[in-house]
Amino acid sequence: MITRNSRFIVTIVLIALLSLALCIYFPWWMIAVVAFSVSALVDQSPSKSFWCGFLSIFFLWMALTSIIDSANQHILSQKIAKLLPLGGSSLLLIFLSSIIGALIAGLASLSGAYFRKLLKS
């Protein structure tokens, strides 16, 4: 029997791992497909589902971009952050990237949860 808390965490990890793997071969918006599908399979409230998707991609993208960025010594991120313009702040660029991914995954998870409800009814 899985507790609700651990279900929440397992879902987050599942979305992150599947997104990471599938985005190697498919377009970036696979994160939405993954978040939707996983949330449609796991029984959770819509609001919890939203946060699952949101947090999953937020942390995944933040981790990925941070690792790349520190290995790159912020060379590119500072330039792009000047261009966009984000005042040349690498952190802001990482944050913006992560939030955008998180929003999409969150909304997709929400849709997934509603979809599950629709089927059950």
Write out the residues near another protein by the rule CB under 8 A.
20, 23-24, 27-29, 32, 36, 46, 61, 64-65, 68-69, 71-73, 75-77, 79-80, 82-83, 93, 96-97, 100-101, 103-104, 107-108, 110-111, 114-115, 117-118, 121
What span, in angstroms and rounded, lies between the C-alpha atoms of 38 and 86?
34
Give how far Cα 104 sits from Cα of 31, 50, 121, Å.
8, 10, 26
Question: Shortest gap between Cβ of 56 and another protein (angstroms)?
Answer: 14
Helix pair 90-120, 46-71: axis angle to 10 deg: 150
Question: Shortest gap between Cβ of 83 and another protein (angstroms)?
Answer: 4
Q: Which is nearer to another protein, 44 or 97 (CB)?
A: 97
